[in-house]
Structure 1
Amino acid sequence: MTDKIRLTDNPDWAYLLRDSYDLYRRQSAGGSTKIRSHQRAVRESISRVIKSNPEMHFPEPATKPVVGHLARALNNGRLERHAPFIRSIEAIQDKLTWQYGYEKVPRGLEKKYSYAELVGPTGPVLTDQIILGLVLFAPSCTYPAHAHDGITESYVCLSGAVSENDQGVYAPGSLIFNPPEHLHRITVGDNNPALLFYAWQGSTEKLSHQKMVFTRKPREAAGEK
């Protein structure tokens, strides 16, 4: 019987977790107590994961059409203050399993979107404490409205620029905070891809059984305009 592979057996992944902790330590909360509490909770979860030296499981690496934009996104990210975190991503990028997460992806989105889980119930770093990952959008992508049941979510923009619900523009280094059940839609700038780092917090059950579903707008009643 072979020994289980642990986090300490994979220095590049251990560095990535430490850099994720620092990303949420240095990120401003903008005076928001809710965001500050979320950032602290993310750091505490990451710290627990590191201390537990979790088992690692490497699914078969997989790509999607949008991954053709990853090199550009990483190159742009190297110009930002979080460049050390970009280098940590580059060190493990060949191990990533890019996926959609939806049973049915809207037409056209399959070429403009994908995500890769880094830490969570499906690995590569196995834990039920938190989910951390990357999401990549092609230029001019519109990611339809959706919400997460019982999940508190934050994105850190690593490169590119996005808008959420047409309310403000989030440039590299910005944090987007979405409380549970918050309906949000993301649009991406025309000239560059956007690479975001995300953190999901919730109960063990919610993290393990989260279903990703796009929310359709209700049809207007007959006679309404």
Structure 2
Amino acid sequence: MTGLDRVLAAAKSLFAAHPDMQAFVDWPDDTPSTGKMMRHIPATDIVAAFDRAGTDSTQPLVNAIRAAAQDGYWIRTYTEEEVGAHFRENYGYFELVGPTGHFQSDSLRAYVAYWGPGLNYDWHRHEAEELYVCLAGGATFHAEGREPVNLAAGETLFHATNQSHAMVTTDQPILTLVLWRGAGLAGLPKMDAA
């Protein structure tokens, strides 16, 4: 079993124990490995050394992600012009399950995503519906039509299709599992026009 196999197993275990995740999407029965290779970005090493504790239910996934961080194909969607150099050096994600993930599915995208402390993930949107699952750390989330929400380990937050939203980390980072479903599954987030 590879490190990413362990991340997948831990994600499925968390899903099986988490009613919010189960209400959001059905976990696909078959998610074959794609053999996707690793890709290193600055966040790779940060996540490998991640030391924040999760909850009893999220900690096994936190541990598996930390142990397999060097195996992920890490991505930074945004350019330096869009988010700044400091943001780009302190965030990243990899697609665990999905159309282009380490494990293939056309019905679900499951991202492992990290943002360091002191970041402003500005207003953005995407067509796919989204469920953030905070694994460890925390952040404040803003969204159209909703008061700000402070998300902590073990908690979830839903964003509707094309609902503009933003996130701010202050004195702590946040490590998340982000689930996408529905139309726009193959798309990417886009920053809102200034």
Please tell me the TM-score bracket, short chain as reference.
0.7 to 0.9
Aligned to 2:180: 200
Matches within 5 A, 1:1-225: 10=1, 12-29=3-20, 39-42=22-25, 44=26, 46=27, 48=28, 51-52=29-30, 54-59=32-37, 61-73=38-50, 75-77=51-53, 79-81=54-56, 82-102=58-78, 105-108=82-85, 109-149=87-127, 151-165=128-142, 167-190=148-171, 192-203=172-183, 206-208=184-186, 210-217=187-194
The aligned length equals: 187
Tell me by how many angstroms 1:178 deviates. Answer: 0.7
Q: Deviations over 1:79-119 (max 9, x none)?
A: 52121122322343221011112356422321222111111
Contact 1:188 1:194 in 2 (8 A): yes
Q: Compared with structure 1, are the counterparts of its residues 72 and 171 closer, same or farther at alpha carbon in structure 2 (3 Å cutoff)? A: farther
**Amino acid across the alignment from 2:166:** R
Structure 2 gaps, min length 5: none
Tell me by how many angstroms 1:72 deviates. Answer: 4.6
**Amino acid across the alignment from 2:15:** Y
Of structures 1 and 2, the one with the larger relative CO (CA 8 A, separation 6+) is: 2
Percent sequence identity over aligned pairs: 22
Provide the C-alpha distance between the structure 2 equivalents of 1:113 and 1:90, rounded to a whole number of angstroms. 15
Contact 1:153 1:177 in 2 (8 A): yes
Contact 2:31 2:103 in 1 (8 A): no
Judging by fraction of residues, say which structure has more helix. 1
**Amino acid across the alignment from 1:26:** A
**Amino acid across the alignment from 1:194:** I
Tell me by how many angstroms 1:133 deviates. Answer: 1.2
Tell me by how many angstroms 1:187 deviates. Answer: 0.3
